[in-house]
Structure 1
Amino acid sequence: MLKVLNRLKPASRAVACTLVLATAVACTPVYKKHGYIPTPEELAEIKVGVDTRDTVLEKAGAPSSSGVLKDSGFYYVASRVRHYGPKRPEVVSRELVAISFDQRGVVRNIEKFGLEDGYVIVLDRRVTDSSVQDKGFLRQLLGNIGQFSPSNIPGAS
């Protein structure tokens, strides 16, 4: 490899080195962390049967989401996602801490779930589906050929 590089002109050598470095960098995984879960020390401060919703907010912070019903719990979610080149991002780890409350607003239970427990925690994303997804670009572009009608021209009667 060095013999080949030595035979190249300096400009070509710089381009070759840049391409090799760019290829190596493009294949490096990038990790992103999303969300927040309380630390084990913060969770240890929360006492089941003693703490209320307000004291949990003070000790552990605001939850990622809370239950729909008034007496349901707080949910803290943290995910770690790996982006690797052109591949689809992959969730490497996901943790969920669920703190449930009774009717009086007192902590009833603290549970921790993760991918390693065998639980798949699907985060619901509210995305509107469109009918365009099942058609390719050319099919969308050429799909109206033959469906033309003179009555569709504005101003024509």
Structure 2
Amino acid sequence: MMDRANQTGKSLGRWALVPVMAVFVAACSPMMEYHGYAPTDTDLAEVTIGQDTRETVAQKVGQPGMGGVMEGSGWFYVQSDWRRRGWRAPEETDRQVVAISFDLRDRVSNIERFGLEDGEVISLSRRVTDSGPRPGVLSQVFRVLGQFSAASLGG
């Protein structure tokens, strides 16, 4: 009789683990996030170079998320897809940048699409006078650690 009760208890214990494992697996599965908007090639096929203006482009494919820095420069549509896995930093899986250029008459002069594979890491130029040698990483770490006190850690 005890064996049967013991087996039933073990069986129930195993079944109790199923929801816990399902929650664990769901928490570890990747989550996709989508940011921004880039028109599809089908949408862009409706835009005619040399004929369409900013207004007609806005009607056909929508307003861009950002424009060029200078007045009269192009429009940029940017869409990024990110994969998030638990505690890890998100990873960009796809990026689409659509650049629509306009001529002096405000008509479309060029349409370009760039993907994640076309991107380059660029260093921005800083117009700052060099202040001399910079401290090393370890000296910066020790300086930060030296700023803590027991009073600042206790709450």
TM-score (normalised: structure 1): 0.69
- The answer for unaligned runs of 5 or more in structure 2 is 1-6, 123-140
Counterpart of 1:8 in structure 2 is 10
Task: Tell me the equivalent position of 1:154.
Answer: none
Structure 1 equivalent of residue 102 of structure 2: 101
- Of all paired residues, the percent bearing the same amino acid is 40
Specify whether residues 6 and 100 from structure 1 end up closer, same or farther in structure 2 by C-alpha distance, changes over 3 A only.
farther
For 1:8-157, list aligned pairs within 5 A: 8=10, 10=12, 12-116=13-117, 118-120=118-120, 142=149
Q: 1:18 aligns to what SS in structure 2?
A: helix
SS in structure 2 at match of 1:72: coil
Distance 1:14 1:34 in 2: 40
RMSD after superposition:
2.9
Return the letter of the residue paired with 2:47.
I
**Does the CA contact (< 8 Å) of 1:114 and 1:120 recur in 2?**
no
Give the direction of change, closer, same or farther, for the CA distance of 1:139–1:23 in structure 2 (3 Å limit). farther
Aligned pair in 2 of structure 1 residues 45, 121: CA closer, same or farther (>3 Å)? farther
Indicate if the aligned counterparts of 1:114 and 1:121 stay in contact, CA closer than 8 A.
no
Distance 1:50 1:92, change over 3 A: same
Q: Note the alpha carbon deviations across 1:106-150, whole angstroms, 9 max, x for none.
A: 11110000013x32489xxxxxxxxxxx79xx87652777xxxxx
The CA deviation string for residues 80-113 of structure 1, in whole angstroms up to 9 with x for no partner, is 1101111111100000000011122111110000
Find the aligned partners of 1:112 and 1:6 in 2 and give their Cα distance: 63
CA distance in 2, matches of 1:121, 1:46: 31
Cα deviation, 1:56-101, whole Å, max 9, x if unaligned, reads 1111101010011111101011111101111111100000000011
Cα 1:19–1:74 change in 2 (3 A) is same
**1:25 CA drift (Å):** 1.1
- Contact persistence 1:95–1:113 (CA under 8 A): yes
Cα distance between partner residues in 2 of 1:109 and 1:54: 16
Contact 1:52 1:105 in 2 (8 A): yes
Contact in 2 for aligned 1:53/1:105 (Cα 8 Å): yes
Q: Residues 139 and 29 (structure 1 numbering): CA distance in 2 closer, same or farther, change over 3 Å? A: farther
CA 1:143–1:102 in 2, change beyond 3 Å: closer, same or farther?
farther
- Give unmatched runs, 5+ long, in structure 1: 123-133, 146-157
Q: Alignment partner of 2:95: what SS?
A: strand
Q: Name the CA distance, whole Å, in 2 between partners of 1:87 and 1:96.
A: 26
Distance (whole Å) between structure 1 residues aligned to residue 63 and residue 121 of structure 2 = 20
